[in-house]
A and B are shown apart, each in its own frame.
Chain A
Amino acid sequence: MRAFTYAAPTDLSSALTRLAEPGTHSVMGGGTDLVNSMKSYIETPADVVDLQGVQELQTLETSGDPVRIGVGLKLVDLLASQPLMKLFPILNDAASVVATPQLRNVGTVGGNLCQRPRCWYFRSVDFNCLRKGGTECYAILGENRFNAILGGLGCFMVHPSDLAPALIALNAQAVIGSASATRSIPLESFFIGPDVDVHRENVLVPGEMIVRVDVPRPASGQRGVYLKSRGRQTWDFATTAAAVSLVMSGSTCTSARVVLGGVAPKPWRSPDAEAALQGKSITPAVAAQAAAAAVKLARPMQYNAYKIDQVQALIQRAVLQAAGQEVS
């Protein structure tokens, strides 16, 4: 681990001021990812800004519109908020399958959204892959069972966050702060693929951090489901995942958002799957059409074709469940 300076500000403006100073900074939520990344020389900040003492980042406002979620909240805080879980059961689905109880007790919302990729080539100190500044993505001709089937370009990692697809399905906004300004953008466009920049996973530039996630209050008849498939039933990232949020009027779907996890370098929204659902009466056949539409452009590599079938099953199940239909 490279030696670094450390600051533990207690208010947001001093945190942002520190980030504006010259040099490389990393902000730290719970550190469950950052510390590992530093130990394996993936992150080598000169300065670590620990956000754990910043109260402003730990507020949760569930009564207004939008619902405001501070990024310093721990995943366990989300799960413990009955109003939040009642408003958005999909967040319960997603937060409760992140990592392990120990990691959820420490890991924060901000850290979950901004965590670095889990691709073993990226994580291993033995490979200098494209994303780390090297010249190639080793997954392309290598051990790619966990890699992307969609949106890979140069780099084929899959975005690891469980919260991100669920929040994007809820049409959340990311509130980004810096010493000079605050801006709000759709969370969907917060994440970027390798087509935009192969070295980072989101739009943040030095001096910026995400401070809040705003989620519009649910419409009547809105119901969301997040399903995650993984090898082990705990302590495992998604091989594939599906976040589906539907607004139902009777058996008809009036609005749909479908976001996939584990399949692409960013949380993968599927307009084609959404179009297949909107205005339709939800049946198993319609759910299957939406699932097929979602993977229409999927391009498997040697060992990850199974993801195409697996994610379709999850989409179908999530759609039917969100539409209030029993799934076996």
Chain B
Amino acid sequence: MPWVKTQVTTEGITTEVLVETEVSLPAWGPDAKLDIVGQRIPKVDARYRVTGAAQYMFDKQLPGMLWAKAVRSPYPHARITGIDASAALKMPGVVDVIHIQNTAPIAYAPNGHVFNQEMSFVGDIAAVVAAEDPRILPDAVRAVNVTYEQLPFVTDLQQAIAMDPATAKQIFPQGVLAPTAVADRGDINAGFAAADVTVEATYLTQVVHHTTMEPHGCVAHWIDGYELHVWDTTQSAYGTQQALAKTFQIPDSQVFIWMDFMGGGFGSKTNLWRYHVLASLLSKRTGKPVHYVNDRREELLDTPHRPMHQQTWRLGATKDGQLTAIEMKSYDVAGAFNGMFTNISAVALQLYKCPNVHTADKTVFLNLHQLSAMRGPANTEAMVGMEATMDLLASKLNMDPVQLRKLNYATLDQTTNHPYSTKGLMDAYNYVTQAIGWQTNRKTTPGSDPGPKKRGVGIGSQIWAAAGGPPSNAEVAIQADGSITVRSSVADLGEGPKTILSMVVAEELGVPLEVVNADFGHSDYPWDLGTFGSRVTPSMAPAVRQAAYQAKQEIFTIAASELGVDPSQLECKKGVVFVTSDPTKSIPFAQVAALSSHTIIGNGWRGPNNPNYTTESFGAQAAEVEVDTETGVVTLLNLAAAHDCGRAINPMLVESQIHGGVDMAAGYGRFEEQVVDQRTGIPVTTNLFDYKIETAVDEPVIDAHIVENVDTIANNTGAKGMAEPPTMPTAPSIMNAVYNATGVWVRDMPLSPERVLRALKAAQSQQSA
């Protein structure tokens, strides 16, 4: 097949990829008669997960295994002046302590080397202890005596913004402020000049953590000169394999990443981390397997997070509500390294129809752990400012906020002028407003409920790249008994790729789902880029479909010779191969498989994206809240969520994604935040009590609705990506609902009681002044 270049957008970042065109298969259109795809089928591995049979990385135990734990910097910025591990090494059971003084430098992308002389945040790694018993590790870590020279630091955004460049250079060689990244469409000044109404507001969105149930870490076993095996919790077995091989300068083929089950990633486990390198190095030195897993405090100090932003939005519109200008200026807080995923300009440029847009993103470096993508990076944060400012504009225009959104509906991708392959946002607006009782529950005068407990509703929308794209690769192997294994390095983080990809394979082959087994997450299987960017379904579904199709052709060849017909006359349904024109001429699929002299293997990959269209997922959510204006407590009563995911291969799992996304973001909107003591630069929210995730009791009643909009332009299965989008509209819909309930804007997230009370009080004293 011919090779072509194609554009792929993942986590908001677009790259060009060279890819082989896929085998052309008829698309499963809206009216396709499908037996398995589209059914509500429980996750194929749910049983193992709930019974405890599933083995996670942490469960891995090997003979002679050592346990490792990091010695971490207590200072946000310091230079190591000495490391004395002798006391620790004297403790019975302590085997090795590694640090900058006794290891050769190993390059590690974000902060230069795996061990550095300079510590850049509280929790940065100074040394690692390996011991025979995990129970002695905390004491052993305390016994390693590291001395530091403290250096100037900054952990406060306002302080960083105001800092003089000379001081800033003492903290980071590049200073604390990166050059501003600007994007423009049209003429922003002309846009505001044409506006009858202009509104402006600033929002502070906080740092939140991925808080995966399964912590970060790995078990590494380096059989020196032979192979490096790593049992991992990763969103990309393939990516980790490559990076680890490169780090230690050994061939990819000698590195094996193993992962059967995973307890969540949300963007924080997409690549190589220091623990991979440190565990491998300790294993190489000791010749023993090494188990290196963070505890919860370490999770909250030294795993990545969603960045903080201070976003200022200015919108201009004509008096009938047509947007004339969108301006967004943001300070994007990166932590100590890595400015990737900080730029939040996409929403301003894409969501609403507007000829004049100006965005200015400024990355700010602080002495905090680094960020990474987190479920819908950038758009989840930007949607807060975009959508709350739309409601501010609606209130100035005296217009229904949903009406304002419909009026500025974009039918083209304004960044490329391509049409959207499908766009179900209008249906989503209609569904959620109906479901939340918009007409009756919306306060036309915000805050008009009598009494201290006030109710209101709010809306939020969402746009997110959902095409997926290469590289995604899988093979379908048909065993001698007719059972089927689908192999790929793709990771199932718990959200269900094993299930839906097995369904696609069973559908294409015409066999029952029960005979298909998905074997994923091993780096020596066919490549998949990774499970992030909502890319797995739209990338892997076409790939496994092609692999199944290829394997089917061999089955048909064998069956044809048995039945004395041409292969093109055959079909397979429910595990029986038969002649289309005469179904009585048939042979069971398993019997054909048994006739094969070799394993039948079909290879399938994801081809290029359609260059003439933009494929995005869309959705809207409407929240109903009750605000106790005397205690500041915001109760999220109901939340209706409607999302356009193209074809729902398994509606039950799409609804699960909606539930999960809403819950995660309802915590973002109301409870979760990293709090840092600014005098010392030490985060104080380093346990799961002080760092508050949403509990089941705080969950709203969620009405999860799928706007099914089969997208055959996107790919031949009609499915678009859907994992991240449901986190995006939730927080702004809560913020807008709190305004509708109280008549007061609370623009600092999360909307915790003290912030709500503070805003209400400020509004009160402003009124009386």
Contacts and interface: CB of A to CB of B under 8 A. Distances in A.
Given A142-B678, A231-B671, A120 B684 contact: yes
9 contacts: A121-B684, A123-B687, A125-B297, A127-B680, A229-B631, A236-B692, A239-B754, A304-B754, A314-B631
A309 B757 contact: yes
Most buried by B among A121, A143, A303: A143
Interface string A1-42: 110000000000000000000000000000000000001000
Given A123-B687, A124-B682, A143-B677, A310 B697 contact: no
Contacts of B752: 231
A285 interface: no
Interface string A105-135: 0000000000000101101111100000000
Interface string A210-236: 000000000000000000011111111
Interface residues of B, number: 39
A124 B686 contact: yes
Contact of B632 (A124, A306, A328): A306
A303 B754 contact: yes
A310 B452 contact: no
B753 A138 contact: no
B626 to A, nearest CB: 12
Contacts of B692: 231-232, 236
Contact of A232 (B297, B675, B686, B697): B697
A141 interface: yes
Nearest to A228: B631
Contacts of A141: 679
A313 interface: yes
Contacts of A120: 675, 684-685, 690
Contacts of A124: 682, 684, 686
Nearest to A145: B754
A328 B122 contact: no
Chain A at the B interface: SS class: loop
A231 B753 contact: yes
B587 interface: no
Contacts of B682: 124, 126-127
Given A120-B685, A123-B690, A328-B452, A143 B753 contact: no
B138 interface: yes
A126 B698 contact: no
A39 B167 CA distance: 39
Nearest to A310: B631
Nearest to B631: A229
Interface of A: 1-2, 39, 118, 120-121, 123-127, 138, 141-143, 145, 229-236, 239, 303-306, 309-310, 313-314, 328
A233 B698 contact: yes
Contact of B753 (A2, A118, A239): A239
B633 interface: yes
Contacts of B297: 125
B544 to A, nearest CB: 41
A229 B697 CA distance: 15
A229 B753 contact: yes
Contacts, number: 93
Contact of A143 (B684, B689, B698, B761): B684
Contacts of B675: 120, 143
Contacts of A142: 677-679, 684
A313 B635 CA distance: 17
Contacts of B406: none
B122 A126 contact: yes
Contact of A234 (B122, B630, B677, B695): B695
Contacts of B64: none
A205 to B, nearest CB: 29
Contacts of B676: 143
- Which 6 pairs show the lowest CB-CB distances between chains A and B? A313-B630, A306-B757, A120-B684, A234-B697, A306-B754, A229-B631
B467 to A, nearest CB: 38
A316 B304 CA distance: 44
A328 B455 CA distance: 13
Interface in B664-709: 670-671, 675-680, 682, 684-687, 689-690, 692, 694-695, 697-698
Interface string B9-35: 000000000000000000000000000
A54 to B, nearest CB: 28
Nearest to B136: A3
Nearest to B142: A41
Contacts of B635: 233
Contacts of B670: 231
Nearest to A237: B689
B600 to A, nearest CB: 51
Contacts of B690: 120, 123
A124 B686 CA distance: 8
Contacts of A138: 677, 679-680
A87 to B, nearest CB: 28
Given A239-B754, A306-B753, A232 B679 contact: no
A313 B452 contact: yes
A236 B695 CA distance: 10
A233 B633 CA distance: 9
A120 B678 CA distance: 14
A303 B690 CA distance: 16
A308 to B, nearest CB: 10
B745 to A, nearest CB: 17
Contacts of B122: 126
A225 to B, nearest CB: 15
Given A141-B679, A231-B692, A232-B692, 20 more contacts: A1-B139, A120-B684, A120-B690, A121-B677, A124-B684, A127-B677, A138-B679, A142-B679, A142-B684, A145-B754, A229-B632, A232-B698, A233-B633, A235-B689, A236-B692, A303-B754, A309-B761, A313-B452, A328-B451, A328-B452
Nearest to A235: B695
A314 B753 CA distance: 14
Contacts of A2: 139
Nearest to B690: A120
